[in-house]
Structure 1
Amino acid sequence: MKVVILAGGLGTRISEESHLRPKPMLEIGGKPILWHIMKSYSAHGLTDFVILCGHKGHMIKEYFTNYLLYNADVSVNLGSGEFNILNHSAEPWRITMLSTGELTQTGGRLAYARPYLDETFCLTYGDGVSDVDLTSLLGFHFAEGRQATVTAVQPTGRYGSIEVDGSAATGFVEKPAGDNSWVSGGFFVCEPSVLDQIDGPDTIWEKGPMQNLAQDGQLSVYKHHGFWGAMDTLRDKTYLEGLWNSDQAPWKTWS
């Protein structure tokens, strides 16, 4: 089963770093967040990736093209030009990287991958990590039998929630999870038929296609009560980096 990762956005809300490299290549613990996401899927036996590149996508291609070399012992005969990889510690991943356009929208990027998606596939964003049980998510999707499943999460709230009756407060909750609401956390499972919902490169996956699937009763919701974090701002990056450096990263489900 293929894992499709949206990795082409401009990352304007973290432009302090994304002007130098694509947001999925921003690092946590010396590794791109994209690598962390792929490790999470790999822990569940999902190792066939399709990365949808856009903004500075060449940096993603260069990273993974050289990844095996960086994680290997090599032998080079400068006289003959012979080059051999003696052994390596790289993950057994197959990675297809597609140039989907600098300004293409999320739905348009997904449509670009249509030739590679002839069976059920996973889909997620290249800037979000989670400890979601992907094996359980897949089982849920197949049991529900709908065209798509979205993982709903309740990220840590940033503000206290006040319950109000007239001018009197009747309750207060300090930073409730998700500010008391569920949001899309990515980590989708999709059937190829969802691609028919995409009109062209300007289609935004989260608007037309997802809305249509929901209205048609074809979108299942998998509620994840565990950790989820997105690298949307520099504050988010600092938070995730802190968890990793203190050996408290919940998304590290691999050994």
Structure 2
Amino acid sequence: MKAVVMAGGQGTRLMPLTANQPKPLMPVAGKPILYHVLRLLERHGIEEAIVTAQYHAEQIQGYLDGLEVLGLKISCVTEDTPLGTAGGFSALAERLRDDIFLVISGDALTDCNLSELIESHRGKPALVTACLAEVDNPFGFGIVTTGEGGRVDRFVEKPTAGSELSNQVNTGIYVVDPAVLDRIPAHQPTDWARDVFPVLVGENAIYGWSTNAYWEDVGTHDRYFEVQSDALTGKVSIELEFPEVAPGIRIEDGALMPSDVTLIGPLHIGAGEIGGGATLANGTILGRDVTVGAGAILDGAICHDAAYIGPGSVLIDCVVGYGAHIGPSVQLGRGAVVGAHSFVAEGTVVPEGARIEAAVPESLSSYPRADATAWHQESP
């Protein structure tokens, strides 16, 4: 069976983190969201994944070209112009006509039982079966109401606040009969929820399948923070690649740190350098090649690969993008976001919720490194 992974979104609400990389490549617990989606497909017996890309498509293609660990056939199809969530499917029609296929978002984190969803579709007179989930606040989602046997009787895409019909929302995961491909016009912007599904509702041809599994649309900074914590605490079942050296504390072989570093889990620490007297605590996640200076305190901080955190800096529940430079004695307030390759000068106090995107001065072409010794977890 084949799956189409929609990975073309721009992720504007996650700026500046998505200013120079697509949302599906945003890391969760050290791996891109797209990787976690592909692993989910593999676990449920999907044989081929077709990834559709548009925003920074070359990065998606480059990432997939180097991905050799997954046991499924992967290809990438690039859209030159945005065609909506369904518009690009007409170009894929000949590759998808042999059987029902799965559609899934490449920028949402879930451990949904796709096998049960597929079986539910096979047992119903449906052209589409949509995976549905209940959320506490449905504002901003596509709202779905269902009738007898799970048949969808109303599909309202992102209604205004206060007009929500239910807490049951569209997850963007569908099983689709190839006959639906004939309903999608070629080379025209088309949306599954706005254009295709309302027609199918009128034909009694779309059904819903409800899941209690974890599902989170990683569309805002708040949700990005949330999924990191959920991954470390096991609320969502995804792959955590680093060895667990103590309960809740995962450190990659080759990480450098002296013995006086304080570690308070949960933590997910890639191979990098940690200075003496530093504290890493409460959901902090460090990508690879991250440097943390002596005496720095990171509490719930998410630092992408190659970030530099200066000595004595304090980072609380914030995100530091790829290759960003945080100078000495900087304070990053709760919810602050520093974009990739940005620079925060020594002693700066960044208020809660601030967004920073600025060029790194040329004088910082090479960053100072922390003085540390190697951490190595012996193989059992």
Within the candidate set 97, 100, 103, 1:120 is matched to 100
Gaps in structure 1 of 5+ consecutive residues: 69-89, 160-177
In structure 1, how many angstroms separate the alpha carbons of the residues matched to 2:47 and 2:17? Answer: 28
Q: 1:189 aligns with which of 167, 175, 178?
A: 175
- Residue 49 of structure 1, CA deviation: 0.2
Q: Is the 8 A contact 1:16 1:234 kept in 2?
A: no
Q: Aligned in 2, Cα 1:140/1:8: closer, same or farther, shift over 3 Å?
A: same
Cα displacement (A) at 1:238: 1.0
> 2:111 is matched with which residue?
131
Instruction: Establish whether residue 233 from structure 1 lines up as the match of residue 244 from structure 2.
Output: no
Choose the corresponding residue for 2:82, options 78, 93, 103.
103
User: Quick one: structure 1 residues 223 and 239, their matched pair in 2 at CA, closer, same or farther if it must change by over 3 Å?
Assistant: same
Residue 251 of structure 1 and its aligned partner are, at CA, apart by 3.6
**Which SS does the other structure have where 1:19 is aligned?**
coil
- Alignment-derived partner of residue 157 in structure 1: 137
CA distance in 2, matches of 1:113, 1:136: 25
Q: Give the equivalent residue in structure 1 for 2:4.
A: 4
Trace 1:4-43 onto structure 2 (pairs within 5 A). Answer: 4-43=4-43
User: Counterparts of 1:254 and 1:43 in 2: how far apart (Å)?
Assistant: 15
* 2:123 aligned partner: 143
Deviations 1:7-63 (A, max 9, x none): 111111112211111111111011110111111121111131000110101101101
List 4+ stretches of structure 1 deviating above 3 A. 156-159
Q: Which has the higher contact order (CA 8 A, sep 6+)?
A: 1
Structure 1 position 245 matched with structure 2 position 232 = yes
The more displaced of 149-158 and 34-43 is 149-158
Alpha-carbon distance in structure 2 between the residues aligned to 1:91 and 1:254 = 15
SS in 1 for 2:207: strand
Task: Provide the rounded CA distance (Å) in 2 between the counterparts of 1:18 and 1:182.
Answer: 28
Task: Report the Cα offset of residue 101 of structure 1.
Answer: 2.5
Distance 1:148 1:213 in 2: 8
Letter in 2 for 1:116: R
Instruction: Decide whether the 8 Å contact of 2:8 with 2:57 is kept in 1.
Output: yes
Asked whether the 8 Å contact 1:43–1:254 carries over to 2, the reply is: no
Which residue does the alignment assign to 2:262?
Answer: none
| Residue 210 in structure 1 maps to residue 228 in structure 2 | no
Name the CA distance, whole Å, in 1 between partners of 2:240 and 2:200. Answer: 33
Q: Secondary structure at the match of 1:244?
A: helix
Summarize the alignment of residues 25-64 of structure 1 with structure 2, pairs less than 5 Å apart: 25-64=25-64
| Structure with more helix by fraction | 1
- Cα gap change, 1:129/1:96 in structure 2, threshold over 3 Å: closer, same or farther? same
> Greater Rg, structure 1 or structure 2?
2
Alpha-carbon distance in structure 2 between the residues aligned to 1:51 and 1:91: 14
Q: TM-score, normalised by structure 2?
A: 0.53
**Count of aligned pairs:** 215
**C-alpha contact 1:155 1:229 (8 A) present in aligned 2:** no
Q: Give the deviation of 1:142 after TM superposition.
A: 0.4
CA pair 67-253 structure 1, distance change in 2 beyond 3 A:
closer
Contact 1:47–1:94 at 8 Å: present in 2 too? yes
Structure 1 residues 154 and 179: CA distance shift in structure 2, 3 A: farther
Q: Distance in 2 between matches of 1:158 and 1:190?
A: 24
Q: CA deviation at 1:245?
A: 2.6
AA at the equivalent of 2:183: Q
Q: TM-score, normalised by structure 1?
A: 0.78
- Cα distance in 2 for residues equivalent to 1:26 and 1:156: 25
Change (3 A) 1:198 1:58: same
Asked if 1 retains the 8 angstrom alpha-carbon contact of 2:57 and 2:78, the reply is yes
Distance 1:104 1:117, change over 3 A: same
**1:40–1:253 CA contact under 8 A, matched in 2:** no
Q: How does 1:63-78 map to 2 (within 5 A)?
A: 63-68=63-68
Whole-angstrom CA distance in 2 between matches of 1:158 and 1:51: 28
Structure 2 CA distance for aligned equivalents of residues 60 and 236 of structure 1: 22
Q: What is residue 199 of structure 1 aligned with on the other side?
A: 185
For residue 180 of structure 1, report the CA deviation from its aligned partner: 5.1
Letter in 1 for 2:103: L
> Which shifted more, 212-221 or 12-21?
12-21
- What root-mean-square deviation, in Å, do the aligned CA atoms of Structure 1 and Structure 2 show? 2.2
